[in-house]
Amino acid sequence: MRWYKSSVIYQIYPRSFQDSNHDGIGDLPGIISRLDYLQHLGVTAIWLSPIYASPLYDNGYDIADYCAIHPDYGTMADFQKLLAEAHRRQIKIIMDLVINHTSSEHSWFKQAISDEKSPYRDYYFIRSGKKKPNNWTSFFGGSAWTYLPNENLSYLHLFAPEQPDLNWENPQLRMEIKNILRFWLDMGVDGFRCDVINLLSKPKKLRNSRRFLVLKGAEYYINGPKIHEYLQELKRDVFNQYDMMTVGECVFITPAKALEYIEEGVDELNMVFQFDHMAVDNYFKWFLRPFKPYRLKLALAKWQDAINGRGWNSLYLENHDQPRSVSRFGNLDYYYASATMLATLVFFQQGTPFIYQGQEIGMTNAHFTSLNQYRDVETKRIYQIGRTQLKLSHKRMMHKIKYMSRDNARTPMQWDDSKHGGFSDANPWIEANPNFVTINVKDNLANEHSIFHYYQKLIALRKTYSVIIEGDFKLHYPKHRALVYYERCFQDQQLIVLCNYSTKPLSFKPLHDFSEFTVILDNDDNKGPVLQAYQARVLFRRTADDKHS
Ligand code: ISL
Ligand code: CA
């Protein structure tokens, strides 16, 4: 079994994790100082959001130099120290790889726009004149084309104007990217999380989109014509040469399409991040709809049913682009129960768990009340577009932002109850949530019944019961609105997960004889058959006759 299947991966958003030099910005020495904490939690790998040289329009998802560390975060020596210190603790390091676009301050782009004869011009989608080559729109709202009056050029960007898209058709560009990958792998990094990897391939002709309202152009560039050719090339020339893993962020992907990337034998990527369960409370991000627990349950089960046995799932509830899960899918009136129930529901499924910083202590959405407390480029652009183009009121836009803004996940990590939550003694680049006074690592560590300790147990159980990693998956009562009841089997091991995803006590007809099972995890003292609000229980047994193998 490849190592990533038994890994538990912790995502660090470096800017918000731990400041070490009193400038209000998280950094690499700060991360190093917290490795013991992560080891105590039990995670076996860290995914670092971008730490490369960047003007930080999109907090590093706009890279200006792929082989340099942003001075805010430290030096290359700091990075090498982090790598060594992590490896010493049996913790692997996964880098974030943003290769759909660069920063507009990357030297490739600067040369591309300043010199018509430059070989770099073909690294991007650059067209002469002001006329937009097509009607495509950006993920962050507005046109996907920006005009440069001085150069009289227009260029394509699926994200912010400061993030011009790379042209993967160009073989020289592909060679340069492969060298960048080798640079980090030779240094010892253990893999990559590949940003919006399924957007890499654009068609030869950039035709007008027929999509309505949002993401015009998506029908051409999502899983575009040559995407598999490009990834096969990366696999052959780079991935196959190292003991590494990849997880590709694939937006708007179905299980069938995902298998084209991850099916065993294809192995272009080891896993994808899919978004079905991130759409259970919205039609398209900012178009909110009421959250229904059964939708979350079914979205996840769909991926279990389709991928297990043929590929490998990633399991996640949060990342740096999503609201906090306890605020979003849990219930703050049942804070501990709902946070731990969510962890149980998701992380006992088959796949590799990804835990986002602060999730393990139940951090909640930002408390912001005013637009200027937000820092995120997407949030600011969406506000403008909502106000000017959609003519929505300030109140309505603030409501959407409060619920959905990416900054909900980007407030400083809450270490203790001192000023700014122990993240920094200087004013942080983004305000801490004042609830650090009660929600923080120190308190979680001191309290035996904390969310942290629940996560720690959950992670430890993966090392004891191989059924948690390798077992198949069967969802029972799929239509039930409150009950989550699923079963995992592997050889002679059988595991049952029960969750009451509601505020009311829940009784149901068991499909197994629970008296034959041992409870290996429970977020409530209640031992009876009626599950309390948000109660989650995990049961295990060995079957004598090996009937499940
Ligand atoms: O965040 C989103 C919804 O608001 C997604 O649409 C997000 O933009 C998409 O998942 C792509 O995300 C990745 O690429 C972006 C970057 O801003 C995100 O932080 C990153 O995770 C551009 O590089
Ligand atoms: Ca710092």
What top-level class would CATH report for the domain 3-102+171-366+415-459? alpha beta
- For atom 7 of ligand 1, which residue has the closest CA? 321
Ligand 1 centroid to Cα of residue 400, in Å, is 17
CATH node for 107-156: 3.90.400.10
Is residue 96 exposed (0-12), middle (13-18) or buried (19+ Cβ within 10 Å)?
buried
Which pLDDT does position 549 carry in this prediction? 43
Atom number in ligand 1 closest to CA 319:
21
Q: What is the pLDDT along the chain (549 residues), one digit of tens a residue?
A: 999 999 999 999 999 999 999 999 999 999 999 999 999 999 999 999 999 999 999 999 999 999 999 999 999 999 999 999 999 999 999 999 999 999 999 999 999 999 999 999 999 999 999 999 999 999 998 999 999 999 999 999 999 999 999 999 999 999 999 999 999 999 999 999 999 999 999 999 999 999 988 899 999 999 999 999 999 999 999 999 999 999 999 999 999 999 999 999 999 999 999 999 999 999 988 999 999 999 999 999 999 999 999 999 999 999 999 999 999 999 999 999 999 999 999 999 999 999 999 999 999 999 999 999 999 999 999 999 999 999 999 999 999 999 999 999 999 999 999 999 999 999 999 999 999 999 999 999 999 999 999 999 999 999 999 999 999 999 999 999 999 999 999 999 999 999 999 999 999 999 999 999 999 999 999 999 999 999 999 999 999 765 554
Nearest ligand (C-alpha, residue 279): 1
Which pLDDT does position 546 carry in this prediction? 52
Could you please report the per-residue DSSP string of 484-548?
Answer: EEEEEEETTEEEEEEEE-SSS-B----SS-GGGSEEEEESSS--SSSBPTT-EEEEEEE-TT-TT
Domain 472-547 belongs to what topology? Immunoglobulin-like (2.60.40)
The model scores a pTM over 0.95: yes
CATH 3.90.400.10 location in the chain: 107-156
- CB contact at 8 A, 234 and 258: no
CATH 2.60.40.1180 location in the chain: 472-547
- CB contact at 8 A, 362 and 438: no
Ligand 2 centroid to Cα of residue 26, in Å, is 5
Q: Which residues line ligand 1 (CB under 6 A)?
A: 58, 61, 98, 139, 159, 195-196, 249, 251, 285, 320-321, 378, 406
Beta strands 52-53 and 126-128 are unpaired
**Pocket test residue of 282, 321, 410 for ligand 1, highest count of atoms within 8 A of CB:** 321
Give residue-wise pLDDT tens across range 113-154. 999 999 999 999 999 999 999 999 999 989 999 999 999 999
- For atom 19 of ligand 1, which residue has the closest CA? 321
Task: Please give the positions annotated as active site.
Answer: 195, 249
CATH 3.20.20.80 location in the chain: 3-102+171-366+415-459
Which pLDDT does position 545 carry in this prediction? 62
- For atom 23 of ligand 1, which residue has the closest CA? 61
Which pLDDT does position 284 carry in this prediction? 87
* 470: nearest Cα among 3, 4, 5, 2: 5
- Bridge partners of residue 516, in order along the sequence: none
Question: Which residue is it, tokens 């650090």?
Answer: 436
Nearest ligand (C-alpha, residue 99): 1
Which pLDDT does position 544 carry in this prediction? 79
- For atom 10 of ligand 1, which residue has the closest CA? 251
Ligand 2 centroid to Cα of residue 320, in Å, is 19
**Pocket test residue of 16, 49, 61 for ligand 1, highest count of atoms within 8 A of CB:** 61
